Chains A and B, each alone.
Chain A
Amino acid sequence: MLDNWTFIGLFLLMAAIFPGVPIILQSLILGPKKSNPVKNSVYECGIETVGDTWVQFKVQYYIFALVFVVFDVETVFLFPFAVAFNAVSLFAVFEVTLFILILVAGLVYVWRKGALEWV
């Protein structure tokens, strides 16, 4: 078990090194370095950028992220149930169905509130 996670740890390290090396190689050694203010300016469709980029944005995106968090956390609770499926009785499956129905109730609530509409 510990071996597995050592492997994963080394793998993540390697996965960071592999893309990291070419990027550093290009930006520090191989690529030319002749920057000027015009070249470094932000891309825009033909005109100068107006105003700040990091502005207030639509609350809609935030609502979707919130709904996601609720669903994601509750879904993770279902995974242990799936692994222990051999051990649970039919009654327990009904209980899990109830749990999923509570999830559905949350979805229906969000739906009826109009939070899923793109406005």
Chain B
Amino acid sequence: MDFLKDPVAFIAKVLSDLLAAFLPAPVVSVLLLIVGVVVVASFSLVLPLFLIWFERRVVGYMQDRLGPNRVGPEGLLQTIADAIKLMIKEDITPYGADKVVYNISPVLAVIAVISMWAVVPFAHNIIGTDLNVGALYIVSVGSLGTLAIMLGGWASNNKYALLGAFRTVAQLVSYEVPMILSLLVPVLLARSMGLNDIVKAQDVWFIFLAPVAAFIFFTTSVAEVGRTPFDLLEAESEIVAGFHIEYSGMKFGMFFVAEFLHAFTVGALTAVLFLGGWRGPGAETYPLLGVVYFMIKAFGGYFFVILMRAALPRIRIDHMLDLNWKFLTPLALGAIVVIALADKAMEPWLQTLQPGIAPWARGGVLLLANLLLVLVTYLLLSNSARRMRRAAERGASGGDGAGHHDEHHEEAPAAPAHGEAHTAPAH
């Protein structure tokens, strides 16, 4: 067993040989499992210490200032100093708060994010556990985070926090629909829900096969994190800090850790589902190289999330809901239909081609189908924007089903933007 070929199995063998001298075999296998759990879980909990520093530096440079650079080399130890400060703060539970729910909520927020990392593949044989329902598992534990924010806001006995919890219901819950729908597309293309199988199926990266789904997944995932431009649930300038206004010390710190790790998880999941995960030259033979590729792609996605945060203003709540229900959801449904039909219809044709060309031919056809979908969407959107502009010019009179004409800007998406024009409702 070579360390470079299969590092996990190599270390497991060394450890089990070492332990077999003292302990019976079943105990050793359980211990190895626990070691694996502790390694993956502590990796995902230590990572935010670096992420928080990274984000503060990047946002600092975006705003023409330096960011933390005093504690340790380049300010790397700043986050640890902050954690120590939070640890020696007084723990305050506000008067009248629901104590049990109030205390569970920050823990639940972290559980939701860390447990996603149990199924993320770092390389073809470095993975927590290769669950065959990985995609569904990600969705189900990910939605626990929504619950944590809702519970925290409700239990704080504070009106700002309650408003934050309300907005959570409107935003996080709504954006989960297109996120799950767009997650269906890589599952459809790979014919498997296991994340490692999805990566292995990406001879051509899925972002080229399904750019629409990739766009929807990334946007809605950022909304799920509650990052700018979708940070309505904490909106410092409107509801002070939203759901975590009453939290102090380490409980606040845990919400903070959960948010940063979730933002990085968005980058990692986008890398796994659409950017080929650990795939790259030489990654099959040397898994550690695969880890490097995966980390580069994940940090690329995370960097993009930070850029969005630094560059974009907060979106208004009615625009936010319109964007989700009237644009992203119909578009996601359209993307599923287009990809399923195109992929199935060209199957007989692909079998006549040479095996070397077939994946590229499939990629080309699917890309064309997606571009067609984008074109139809664009035509529908510009059409409805023109209609709304005309209605606004005529003055706000005779409100039909659409309503609020005077409030919509022209870029506000209000068109049913899926592939089949005949299902579009007429206003």
Q: When chains A and B are docked, how far (Å) is the Cα of A108 from the Cα of B180?
A: 19
Binds A, one of B62-70, B187-195, B305-313, B372-380: B187-195
Partner pick for A4 among B130, B166, B345, CB 8 A cutoff: B130
Contact in complex: B110, A72 (CB < 8 Å)? no
Contact in complex: A19, B130 (CB < 8 Å)? no
Cβ of B33 under 8 Å from chain A:
yes
Mask: chain B, 105-123; 1 = CB below 8 Å from A; 0 = not: 0110011001100100000
Beyond A32-B88, A111-B425: 15 further Cβ-contacts under 8 Å? A4-B130, A4-B131, A11-B114, A42-B94, A42-B96, A43-B245, A44-B159, A53-B158, A57-B166, A64-B170, A67-B174, A78-B181, A82-B184, A86-B191, A104-B423
Q: When chains A and B are docked, how far (Å) is the Cα of A35 from the Cα of B254?
A: 22
Known: A23-B107, A39-B92, A118-B321. A10 touches B34 (CB 8 A): yes
Q: Which residues of A contact B345 (CB under 8 A)?
A: 90
Q: Which residues of A contact B336 (CB under 8 A)?
A: 78, 100
Residues of A1-42 contacting chain B, CB below 8 A: 1, 3-4, 6-8, 10-12, 14-16, 18-20, 22-23, 25-27, 30-35, 37, 39-42
24 contacts between A and B (CB under 8 A): A7-B36, A16-B111, A18-B114, A23-B103, A23-B254, A26-B86, A26-B88, A40-B93, A41-B95, A53-B158, A54-B162, A64-B170, A67-B174, A75-B180, A82-B193, A85-B343, A100-B336, A101-B423, A107-B325, A107-B330, A112-B401, A112-B425, A118-B321, A118-B404
Residues of A53-87 contacting chain B, CB below 8 A: 53-54, 57-58, 60-61, 64-65, 67-68, 71-72, 75-76, 78-79, 82-86
Q: When chains A and B are docked, how far (Å) is the Cα of A109 from the Cα of B189?
A: 30
For B40, give the chain A residue with the smallest CB separation: A11
Interface size class of B (residues with CB under 8 A): 35 or more
Contact in complex: A31, B88 (CB < 8 Å)? yes
Q: Which of B135, B176, B246, B333 has the most CB of A within 10 A?
A: B333
Q: How far is the CB of A11 from chain B (nearest CB, A)?
A: 4
What residues make up the interface of A, taking CB atoms closer than 8 Å to B? 1, 3-4, 6-8, 10-12, 14-16, 18-20, 22-23, 25-27, 30-35, 37, 39-45, 49, 53-54, 57-58, 60-61, 64-65, 67-68, 71-72, 75-76, 78-79, 82-86, 88-90, 93-94, 96-97, 100-101, 103-105, 107-108, 111-112, 114, 116-119
For A105, give the chain B residue with the smallest CB separation: B423
Contact in complex: B177, A79 (CB < 8 Å)? no
Residues of B124-149 contacting chain A, CB below 8 A: 128-132, 135-137
Q: Which residues of A contact B337 (CB under 8 A)?
A: 97, 100
Q: When chains A and B are docked, how far (Å) is the Cα of A118 from the Cα of B401?
A: 12
Residues of B12-61 contacting chain A, CB below 8 A: 33-34, 36-38, 40-42, 45
For B344, give the chain A residue with the smallest CB separation: A93
Contact in complex: B169, A79 (CB < 8 Å)? no
Q: Which residues of A contact B93 (CB under 8 A)?
A: 40
Q: How far is the CB of A92 from chain B (nearest CB, A)?
A: 8
Q: Which residues of B contact A37 (CB under 8 A)?
A: 95
Contact in complex: A68, B174 (CB < 8 Å)? yes
For B253, give the chain A residue with the smallest CB separation: A22
Partner pick for B166 among A15, A44, A61, A89, CB 8 A cutoff: A61
Q: How far is the CB of B202 from chain A (nearest CB, A)?
A: 16
For A118, give the chain B residue with the smallest CB separation: B318
Partner pick for A12 among B111, B131, B192, CB 8 A cutoff: B111
Partner pick for B326 among A49, A84, A90, A111, CB 8 A cutoff: A111
Partner pick for B110 among A15, A41, A57, A112, CB 8 A cutoff: A15
Residues of B321-359 contacting chain A, CB below 8 A: 321-322, 325-326, 329-330, 333, 336-337, 340-341, 343-345
